[in-house]
Chains A and B, each alone.
Chain A
Amino acid sequence: MGIDYNHINDNSLKNQTFYFAGTNAWQIWIKPPNCKWVNFFLVGGGAGGQGGQTGAASTRSGGNGGGSAAFAYITVPSFALPGQLYLQVGRGGFFGESGGTPQGGSGGLSYVCTIPDTTSPYNILMKSGTAAAGVLGVSATAGTVITAADILLADIAFISAYAGQAGGTGGSSSTPATNVTPSGIPFTGGAGGAGCSSVGTLGASASIVGILGFPTISGGTNTAVQSATAGFGNNGYATRENFVGPNFKTPMYFTGGAGGGAASQTQGIGGKGGNGMFGCGGGGGGAGGNTTAGIGGIGGDGFIMITVS
């Protein structure tokens, strides 16, 4: 092998990232010759945030943030793998509607399969989690972690798998929504939207707390102005927009969207929740006036990264 003085990236397919390509769409990975060792990183889609509630002169809550997806690192010697694998990447959940019902959609799981099929356990080589982030009617639920029993190749693999983080609860009445603090995983839930009391007292929307020098993702500001729209929650933060590397200055880290602000007046409009980044939950929408509350943010899509050596 030649001496690599300049650390120039080659194009030998040592690191490939696969993104969401459509519901039930399959992408193909070909095992490179001469590789000895393959690492898979799978994360599912985050759940969408719930919309805020409406009804001036009534107590209304901000929407809950969407949960983040479970994820898994799985490392396998290449001889144990087929020459071709089929990948399905989970989509981020839809935003929840104004009024709070329906809540945000659940994210999709990500799969690595031996044939394009996610129904037979014999065909699923690995997956990002056992349950997706968000379940029907409860968008704040975190994705649940896989165990060795979920993977046929577990006998011969090294597996590190983690559950996602639950989305933050939306503010109830004038009680502020609780900020979301990253919990040791690089994918956070979304933060809740702001609520409002029956007499127009506004609560605060929630933010994603900044850690390790990464910024705080602020929730939207409230409004007490008739017909005005409250501030939108900021979209989540990402240290990777894509994974063309391998030289990155910061570790891989993604956050959910922040909560939307609330509107106290009868014609006020609640702020939208921020969208989640990869695998993260959308923020909850802020409470609105009589007609329109903030919609939730969209959950971040999942991805699958495959590294070989």
Chain B
Amino acid sequence: MVDTFNIVDGSQQRQVYFANGVNSFHTWNKPSNCQFVHFFVLGGGGGGGGGQGAGTATARRGGGSGGSAGGTVSLIPSAYLPDMIYIQVGSGGSNGIGGTTNSNGGAGTLSYIMVSPDTSKTAANVIIQSGDAAAGGGNSGLNSGTAGIAGTIWSYTNNIFNDIGLMSPFAGQAGVLGQTTPVPTSISISGVTGGGAAGAGMNGGTAQAGGSVNAGGYIPTMLGGSAGGSATSTTAGGNGSGAFMTFNPNSNGYSSQQLIFTGGSGGGSSDGGVGGSGGPGAYGSGGGGGGAGVTNSGGNGGRGGDGIVIITFW
């Protein structure tokens, strides 16, 4: 048919699947007459670590931020696929808790496209997976504030279906180390997902702002949380922002911006008050680290963004 006017025809453009719990599978039925299927399979991002709490004027670390997930894009002739496939979308890592707990951020989990709902993820049942290793969570300030690792690329070990189409795996981006001094390092996105920025620490009595996610292209600057109060002030550090995405993927809409998901920015520190919380990550991206605070009052990290699977067919 001659498509003279290029009018949106209202047909389903793609199908989008979101995380819905550990070991829970979605199903996708191959439409009649489709010839090619494209998959975008993204894992969950790592959570940010909690900020350290301790007495005023002491050295305290902000929480490290979570890394972003790896992913895989794939183009497969539909004839090579079964009529029904099973989809498991990875979850974002839990946020590290500040306060009295001071816990690390949790690692994200991988996303899978499988020929059967195999909770063991036996390699032979996997058509596509988002990576080999999931994105790591950032450590708490008490635990050195180590940055969350980047999700690593899928290496096809023991898989048998990876040869049936074009596969292009990609790695994520590492988070940022939480520090005691100076203003924490900000982060610039380097792909479609990004790690989080670190929470602010303190080495003395001067509170700091949290690390930011830098601007670029469609991405606005996402400032870290503001600095809180001094030793004699209980003003809390500001919370980081996060979960920026250029658009929320959906099944029917026309996207007008480039696809980008970013991590969360870090929480600000406070000498005499509660540290700010890190911002959450958008899909596949890392959470920001929590800011340092007074005793038992470090800020929480930001939660890692869930994974996502987008299937386009024609």
Contact = CB atoms under 8 A, between A and B. Distances in A.
Chains A and B are bound partners: yes
A77 B258 contact: no
A10 interface: yes
A114 B218 contact: yes
Contact of B219 (A79, A122, A156): A122
B168 A36 contact: no
Interface in B24-76: 36, 38, 40, 71, 73, 75
Contacts of A309: 314
B38 A36 contact: yes
A185 interface: no
B256 A82 contact: yes
B314 A37 contact: yes
Contacts of A152: 190-192, 217, 258
Most chain B CB within a 10 A radius of its CB, from A10, A80, A84: A80
A154 B168 CA distance: 9
Q: How many of chain B's residues touch chain A, expressed as a range?
A: 35 or more
B257 A83 contact: yes
B255 A83 contact: yes
A34 interface: yes
A125 B314 CA distance: 24
Most chain A CB within a 10 A radius of its CB, from B36, B249, B255: B255
A36 B6 contact: no
Secondary structure dominating the interface of A: loop
A79 B255 CA distance: 6
Interface in A81-110: 81-84
B14 A82 contact: no
Contacts of B191: 152, 154-155
B180 to A, nearest CB: 31
Contacts of A156: 40, 71, 73, 170, 192, 259
Contacts of B9: 33-34
A87 to B, nearest CB: 15
Given A77-B38, A122-B217, A152-B217, A82 B2 contact: no
Contacts of A114: 217-218, 258
B7 A33 contact: yes
Given A34-B8, A79-B249, A153-B258, A2 B168 contact: no
Interface string B162-196: 00001010100000000000000000001111000
Interface of A: 1-2, 10-13, 31-34, 36-37, 75, 77-84, 114-115, 120-123, 125, 148, 152-159, 309
9 contacts: A13-B6, A36-B312, A37-B312, A75-B75, A78-B312, A82-B257, A125-B258, A155-B192, A158-B75
Complex A-B, nearest 8 residue pairs according to Cβ-Cβ distance, in ascending order = A122-B217, A122-B216, A83-B256, A80-B259, A12-B3, A33-B8, A155-B191, A10-B2
